[in-house]
Amino acid sequence: MIYEGKQKIWSDYQKEIPDDHWYYVRSCIRQNFFPASERMFTEITRGVLGKDVYETPYHTTCGGIAYHCDTIPQETVMTIVARQFALMTEAGYENYVASCITSFGNYSETLETWREFPELETKIRENLWKACRREFKKPKYLAHSSDLIYHWREEIAKKGRFRLVNRETGEPLRIVEHIGCHYAKMFPHKGVGGAEYPYVLAGMVESWGGQVVDYPERRHCCGYGFRQYHVKANRGYSVSNTHKKFESMEPFHPDAIITNCPGCPYFLDRWQYVIAEQTGKTYGRDGFGIPVFTYEEIAGLVLGYDPWDLGLQLHQVAVEPFLDKIGIEYDPKAKYLGLNREDIMRPGLPDSIKCF
Amino acid sequence: MKNIVIIGGGVAGMEAARQLLALGYTPIIVEKANALGGHVASWYRLFPDMTPASEIISRLKKEIAPANVFTGTKVISISREKGDYSLTLDNGVSILAGAVLFATGFKVFDASKKEEYGYGVYDRVITNRDLEAWLSGGEDKRISAPKAIGFVHCVGSRDLKAGNSQCSKVCCTTAIKQAIEMKEKFPKAEIYCFYMDLRLFGKKYEDFYINAQRDFGVHFIRGRVSEVGETIDGRLQVKAEDTLSGKPLKVQVDNLVLMSGMVCNQSVSELVRQARLDIDDDGFLRSRNNIFDILESNRPGIFYAGACTGTKTVPETLAEARAAALEIHNYLQNG
Amino acid sequence: MADFGFKLSKSSTLDLDRTDTRVYDILCKTDPDIRTCMACGSCSASCTAAPFCGMSMRKVILALQRGQDVRPMLGKCMLCGKCTMVCPRGINTRHLILSICKYYD
């Protein structure tokens, strides 16, 4: 691997990311899958870094899941997107940041569609006006929330309590970075570092002390693939894609996987249990899986937040071996206690993959 | 007698000079590199007879000894002066020329632009040019007892997205030549050529292909490589579609050789602008007519030879250079 | 094992590193011309059996190169000799078919 070669490509895909005043929209599903991630984003940006990040309860789904499942036409999606832009305009913002990669892709795709077919933009403006009497300006800057954490990665490192380093050996931890397909594959110039060698997560890993693992199936989809997962008859395709990635990364013995998409960490995490059940194989050491994190969770760990406040007890794959490597303290007994310190019940533990 | 300036001292410029000398002129060659020979000088052997490139170059050099040669020199300006052209070189020399021959050639496509192939990122991805340098006896740590080698045809050729729609003509046959050369050096290595279609149009090229198939067991896979990744032991995982069976295909190789194509030489664009020459859609110089007047530009007294007007093989380039010398002779005789 | 109602799907990817080409390699010795096939499809286009049962000499040779069992397809061949007639590379397909049969016998 020639690091300078990647640097050269990264320099071709720089993205302007304003330093403040963002209109933030959440994902439909992330709060269920990784309940602290979006809270962590607002905590870091507002609390730790003191940025102006605005949210409105009137925000809805962007329609991305329905669009990619072929249940609503693009015109409907674009009208929903137009409404989100109207909410941003009404709130007085022009920098739009989406927590979801599907949404980010959806917004990018909509803006590009309007650029290529201006008559559609006119039509969508009419649709929106007829539907809810709203008008909008297009965002001046569109970002994914991982772009912002990437933008502030050095400040987070400076304020951090931990580094992605093996406490015992002093070696950097080996991290696989997995980028959601709709982040840059459609429009490589909209992503930090482009689509072949994206830098958005790699930059975080490097700034926080880890080492990025590049493996042959790095660019491959996590397997979610909307219709592949949501239609049960197709679900085998979903898990097979995930399986392909794990088979490819296995020889590199990664310590963890960092992701920036709602679906990817979910499927890379949960499918490890299904694969273990179906094949008897696990990909971490000693019967464990490879823990999978969102970038907000990793940022939270670096900043010293309690792992259970970060919602890591909701992961399928045990995160404890990873915490132990870094030396992050946690109370095993508190893993399944709620915010009110009462028991939130324990999941059944599988035999096929080691979990706590 | 009027001066003739040849811009470019590759095989086109040298062969034109050789013919002009034979016709009784003393042409002036201006070559920006420090030595004559152009791209061919960096090649090891030439298809289809495995002729050493150095033989061609040294023969041409010997035969053009009486010409005036400026190496390490660039033409910095050109302008029309009555019926002639006034040229200024970066060494301060000014020349009034009755005719100017552009033999400015091509550039090799920068393979790192095809990001998915990982040239400049993955250690053992090399180009046709790198391999040729290694075959010439150069050192290359990236090549070490390979068990499998892949050749990717059409890298930067026939690729609208890479900005070059043209076929580079030489790459298919070069890949076959290099595949045979590698098989001679590493008989046990599996060799895969990934092609879209094989363009073996020249004399003996098809024989060369049959030779590679039958006698060297080179595998030809119809499908363009879509993505390359690096394995834990530094090998390369290559993905393509086996379009003949309609299935995705993958294979690991120790070296992947990218057949970088020929693209237009943009370093002459300033001169082209000054001389008010027409540029074709593909960026190459536009001939007055692509059938009858390939060697003539849109300006009187300015002629073309070789790959400055489009991709060409060495014999085609040499033939054009000879013809251009005659065109210049006729022009100077008849005005 | 838990029943999820779905399973890992079999990949259709041809993995050349895991392709068993022993049969093809043996045939390259008995019928070296097999290597010169350029997949033009003349054989399949003129094959008597092709339109009715999917027989194709081009596919047979490709399947051999990809390590697949060619017997089911080859069983449809009627040895009429037309493919040998039309092959521009002069591959003796009749000889090849008999060599394949001989190998499997």
Yes or no: say if A354 and A287 are a contact pair by the CB < 8 Å rule.
Answer: yes
Output b/e per residue, A283-320; b: 16+ Cβ within 10 A: bbeeebbbbbbbbbbbbbbbbebebbebbbbebbbbbb
Nearest CA in chain B to C38: B220
End-to-end CA distance of chain A: 37
For A222-271, the pLDDT digits (tens) are 999 888 888 888 999 999 999 999 999 999 999 999 999 999 999 999 99
Tokens of A72: 């609503």
CB contact under 8 A, A1 and B231: no
Judged by CB atoms closer than 8 Å, whether chains meet at A236 and C2 is answered as no
Encoded tokens for B13: 């410029």
N-term to C-term CA, chain B: 13
Best residue in A243, A278, A281, A349 for a mutation probing chain C (most C CBs within 10 Å): A278
Of C51, C48, C59, C52, the residue nearest C83 (C-alpha): C48
Can you tell me the distance from the alpha carbon of B32 to that of B76, in angstroms, rounded to the nearest whole number?
11
**Pairing label, strands B84-89, B75-81:** antiparallel
> Is the pLDDT at B138 greater than 90, yes or no?
no
Buried b (16+ CB within 10 A) or exposed e, B25-53: bebbbbbbeeebbbbbbebbbbbbeeeeb
Beta carbons of A278 and C1 less than 8 Å apart: yes
CB-based contact (8 Å) between C33 and chain B? yes
Give yes or no for a contact between A163 and A208, defined as CB atoms under 8 angstroms apart.
yes
Q: What is the DSSP string of chain C?
A: ----S--PPPP--EEGGG---HHHHHHHHH-GGGGG-----HHHHH-SSHHHH---HHHHHHHHHTT---HHHHTT----SHHHHH-TT---HHHHHHHHHHHH-
Tokens for B118, please give them. Answer: 């990982």
List chains touching A (3+ CB pairs under 8 A): B, C
Q: Give the percent of chain A with pLDDT over 70.
A: 100
Spatial CB neighbours of A351, under 8 Å, sequence gap ≥ 6: none
In degrees, rounded to 5, the angle at the alpha carbon of residue A34 between the alpha carbons of residues A33 and A35 is 105
CA–CA dist B81, B69 (Å, integer) = 23
Residue with tokens 């410029």: B13
Tell me whether residues B120 and A251 touch, CB distance under 8 A. Answer: no
Inter-chain contact B115–A217, Cβ cutoff 8 Å?
Answer: no
Could you tell me which of A279, A259, A260, A272 has the C-alpha nearest to residue A354?
A272
- Res C49 pLDDT > 80: yes
Ordered domains of chain B (ranges, CATH): 3-105+265-334 (3.50.50.60), 109-261 (3.50.50.60)
Would you kindly state where each structural domain of chain A is located, as residue ranges? 20-145, 160-334
Tell me the pLDDT tens digit for each residue of B9-67.
999 999 999 999 999 999 999 999 999 999 999 999 999 999 999 999 999 999 999 99
- The CATH classification number of A20-145 equals 1.20.1050.140
B274 and chain C in contact, CB less than 8 A? no
Residues pairing with A343 in the sheet: A337
pLDDT in tens, B173-222: 999 999 999 999 999 999 999 999 999 999 999 999 999 999 999 999 99
C-alpha–C-alpha distance, residues A310 and A307, integer Å: 5
Please give the Cα distance from A313 to A307 (Å, whole number): 8
Does A1 contact B at CB distance below 8 Å?
Answer: yes
Q: Can you tell me the distance from the alpha carbon of A101 to that of A251, in angstroms, rounded to the nearest whole number?
A: 29
Whole-angstrom Cα distance, residue A79 to residue B27? 70
| Contact of A165 with A171, CB cutoff 8 Å | yes
- φ, ψ of residue B70 to 5 degrees: the values are -110, 110
- Determine, for residues B120 and A8 on separate chains, whether the beta-carbon distance falls below 8 Å: yes
| Distance linking the first and last C-alpha atoms of chain C | 41
Q: What is the pLDDT of residues B290-304, one digit of tens each?
A: 999 999 999 999 999
> Which tokens belong to B177?
């030549």
pLDDT, chain A, mean: 96
pLDDT at A339: 84
Determine the Cα–Cα distance for residues C21 and C33; give it in Å rounded to an integer: 16
Q: What per-residue confidence (pLDDT) applies to C105? A: 86
Of A5, A215, A251, the CB nearest to B121: A5
Distances (CA, A) of A299 to A264, A306, A344: 18, 12, 25
Res. C1: pLDDT tops 80:
no
Residue of B nearest to A247 (CA): B231
User: Hey, which residues 208-237 in chain A have their CB within 8 Å of chain B?
Assistant: 214-219
Looking at residue B147, its pLDDT comes to 97
Q: Does A351 touch chain C (CB under 8 A)?
A: no
Q: Which amino acid type is present at position B1?
A: M
Distance from C-alpha of A65 to C-alpha of A28, rounded to nearest angstrom? 9
- The residues that bridge with A246 in the sheet, in sequence order, are none
Confidence band (pLDDT; 50, 70, 90) for B1?
A: confident
- Looking at beta carbons, which residues of chain C come within 8 Å of A353? none
Residue A203 C-alpha, separation from nearest chain C C-alpha, in angstroms: 33
Residues of C in contact with B217 (CB under 8 A): 28, 35
Q: Does B197 touch chain C (CB under 8 A)?
A: no
Dihedral angle sign, alpha carbons of residues A351, A352, A354, A355: negative
Nearest to C2 among A235, A277, A279 (CB): A277
pLDDT tier at C54 (50, 70, 90 boundaries)?
confident
CA B236/CA B245 separation, integer angstroms: 23
Report B:224-253 residues touching C (Cβ under 8 A). 242, 244-245, 247-252
CB–CB contact A2 B231 (8 Å): no
Res. A139 pLDDT band, cuts 50 70 90: very high
Q: For the residues A305-334, what does the mean pLDDT come to?
A: 96
User: Hey, how many other C-beta atoms are within 10 angstroms of the C-beta on A203?
Assistant: 21
Beta-carbon separation of C6 and A240 below 8 A = no
- DSSP letter at B286 equals P
Interchain contact, A278 vs C11, CB within 8 Å:
no
Is domain A160-334 in CATH 3.40.50.11810, yes or no?
A: yes
Tell me whether residues A278 and C7 touch, CB distance under 8 A: yes
Instruction: Reply yes or no on whether the pLDDT at B335 is more than 70.
Output: no
Interface confidence, given as ipTM, is: 0.93
List, for residues A42-87, the tens digit of each pLDDT value: 999 999 999 999 999 999 999 999 999 889 999 999 999 999 999 9
Which residues of chain A have a CB within 8 Å of the CB of B123?
Answer: 1-2
Q: What is the pLDDT of residue A72?
A: 94
Please state, in angstroms and rounded to a whole number, the distance separating the CA atoms of residues A292 and A270: 9
Flag whether pLDDT at B313 surpasses 70. Answer: yes
For residues A46 and A210, give the distance between their C-alpha atoms in angstroms, rounded to a whole number.
25
Rounded Cα distance between A3 and A24, Å, is 34
